[in-house]
Structure 1
Amino acid sequence: MEHLEEQIAHLTRVVDDLSEIVAKQADEIVTLNRRVHMLMQREGERDASGGGTVVMGDERPPHY
Structure 2
Amino acid sequence: MAMEQPMEARLQAGEEAIAHLSRAVDELSEVVARQQREIDVLTRRVAMLMQREAERETDGGGTIPLADQRPPHW
Same fold (TM over 0.5): yes
Normalising by the smaller structure, the TM-score range is 0.7 to 0.9
- Percent of residue pairs identical: 61
1:50 & 1:23 partners in 2: Cα distance? 40
Q: Which structure's residues are more often helix, by fraction?
A: 2
2:47 & 2:28 partners in 1: Cα distance? 28
RMSD between aligned alpha carbons? Answer: 0.9
Deviation at 1:42, TM superposition (A): 0.3
From the CA coordinates, give the structure whose radius of gyration is larger: 2
Aligned length: 51
SS in 2 for 1:7: helix
TM-score normalised over the length of structure 1: 0.78
Contiguous gaps of at least 5 residues in structure 2:
1-10, 62-74
State the structure with bigger RCO (CA 8 A, min sep 6), 1 or 2: 2
TM-score normalised over the length of structure 2: 0.67
Pairing of 1:1-64 with structure 2 (within 5 A)? 1-50=11-60
Contiguous gaps of at least 5 residues in structure 1:
52-64
